Amino acid sequence: MPVASRAGLRPMTPRPPLHLALALDGAGWHPAAWREPRARTAELLDARYWTDLVQEAERGLLDFVTIEDSLGLQSDRFDGPDARTDRVRGRLDAVLIAARVAPLTSRIGLVPSIVAGHTEPFHISKAIATLDYVSSGRGGVRVRAGTGGAEAALFGRRAIPGIALTELERPEVVELITELFDEAADYVEVVRRLWDSWEDDAEIRDVATGRFVDRDKLHYIDFEGRWFSVRGPSIVPRPPQGQPPVTVLGHATVPYRLGARQGDVVYVTPRDADDARRIVEEIRAEQDAAGRGDETVHVFADLVVHLADSAAQAADNRARLDEWAGAPQGSDALIVAGTPAELADLLLDWQPAGLSGFRLRPAAIPHDLEGITRGLVGELQSRGAFRTAYEAATLRGLLGLPRPANRYAAAAASTPTAAV
């Protein structure tokens, strides 16, 4: 029921509850987090470690977790590997982590990262569809454009020049980045068509007649583009969600455009509420230009968080990690150090800028992860700003996204039947 305004002149529509996602990466997002006494550094390559983290996030009723991945070693450098030995290096495959964790969780969404450009869309469509099945409709994917020259060198199929941060405004670099993100858009289009290449009722499983599949309900996608030529169909039936949510991280117009064209969730990195409002407006304009103005595309702000019972303790925790690292932490996202109540204030202050939610990056695991699930969540719940129970069994359901119709079945239904 609408809440009356203080002046009593007209009703105020209550703000929608926030969506919260958790970004998981190794021992945490601070490069020295692995040195914390509670860090489980010896278990970073252990399935139990990842299961524990996701189960903790599920106890906090978060919408989903993302799992970082890449096709090269982690690096402090933008343009290739570094030679540091005081950082976590090496990781497990994100899709396989998600598949391992899926049967041991029941409600939280699982969104591994994949890199377009060096992997094949057919393989990824199959992997994410499988994840959606083993999680009973909780799979998703975060798509990264393959922008690293070092990553390309590992595969040897193509040469991509290294890109330094200082060169991002050069016309030839802008052209290259635009091309790589256009390739990623085609990549996602192929993946989405493959997910639809089986109609929902293509599997008959009729023992009496001996028919397992209705072959007329399997479709060639016949995608022909600059980078991909894929006929299909997939070998995995249509996923339980129809289309598992696609998510994209963006820092500028070109990746915003990818999210607006092909994404269900776009992660962004604003510095304040005004910056968030400007970014949301740009994404909405790109969404309209892509002909998706009437579709839901969520915009989540990314934040790196250091949490403690007092602001002073959070600042001390951050300073200690910075001292171990030998330099202040740098990040593409805003770094916030404070109490759960202070973080809740920030989230609710930023929400009216048009943000659907936030993807939080815990600086140190498990400390800041628990600060989110056991501190921030309770603070938001006390303000009526976050769920107190899961209201849906699928990731699309948690995000308020309808299950889409199959494009090929819809096309067949709209084709007039020839007279006999």
Instruction: Check residue 35 and give its pLDDT.
Output: 98
Name the residue with higher pLDDT: 55 or 8: 55
Instruction: Check residue 295 and give its pLDDT.
Output: 96
Determine what percent of the chain is predicted with pLDDT higher than 90. 80
| CATH T-level assignment (fold) for domain 21-146+240-414 | TIM Barrel (3.20.20)
pLDDT band at 81 (very low <50, low <70, confident <90, very high): confident
* Token representation of residue 54: 């996701």
- Of 106-115, 321-330, 332-341, 409-418, the poorest mean pLDDT is in 409-418
Residue 120 above 70 pLDDT?
A: yes
Residue 8 above 70 pLDDT?
A: no
pLDDT band at 418 (very low <50, low <70, confident <90, very high): very low
Residue 7 above 90 pLDDT?
A: no
Residue 126 above 50 pLDDT?
A: yes
Residue 302 above 60 pLDDT?
A: yes
Per the prediction, the chain carries an average pLDDT of 91
Binding residues for FMN: 69
Instruction: Check residue 414 and give its pLDDT.
Output: 64
For the chain, domain boundaries: 21-146+240-414
Instruction: Check residue 159 and give its pLDDT.
Output: 67
Residue 239 above 90 pLDDT?
A: yes
Residue type for position 199: E
278-301: per-residue pLDDT in tens? 999 999 999 999 999 999 999 999
351-395: per-residue pLDDT in tens? 999 999 999 999 999 999 999 999 999 999 999 999 999 999 999
Instruction: Check residue 144 and give its pLDDT.
Output: 94
Determine what percent of the chain is predicted with pLDDT higher than 70. 91
Instruction: Check residue 50 and give its pLDDT.
Output: 98
Binding residues: 69
Residue 263 above 50 pLDDT?
A: yes
Mean pLDDT of 400-416: 84
Distance (Å, whole) CA 205 – CA 384: 47
Instruction: Check residue 4 and give its pLDDT.
Output: 36
185-194: per-residue pLDDT in tens? 999 999 999 9
Instruction: Check residue 147 and give its pLDDT.
Output: 63
188-217: per-residue pLDDT in tens? 999 999 999 999 999 999 999 999 999 999
What's the pTM? 0.93
Instruction: Check residue 3 and give its pLDDT.
Output: 35
Question: How far, in Å, are 143, 376, 393, 407 from residue 106 at the CA level?
Answer: 24, 22, 8, 29
Residue 171 above 90 pLDDT?
A: no
55-80: per-residue pLDDT in tens? 999 999 999 999 999 888 888 877 67
pLDDT band at 164 (very low <50, low <70, confident <90, very high): low
Residue 417 above 90 pLDDT?
A: no
Instruction: Check residue 339 and give its pLDDT.
Output: 98
Instruction: Check residue 73 and give its pLDDT.
Output: 86
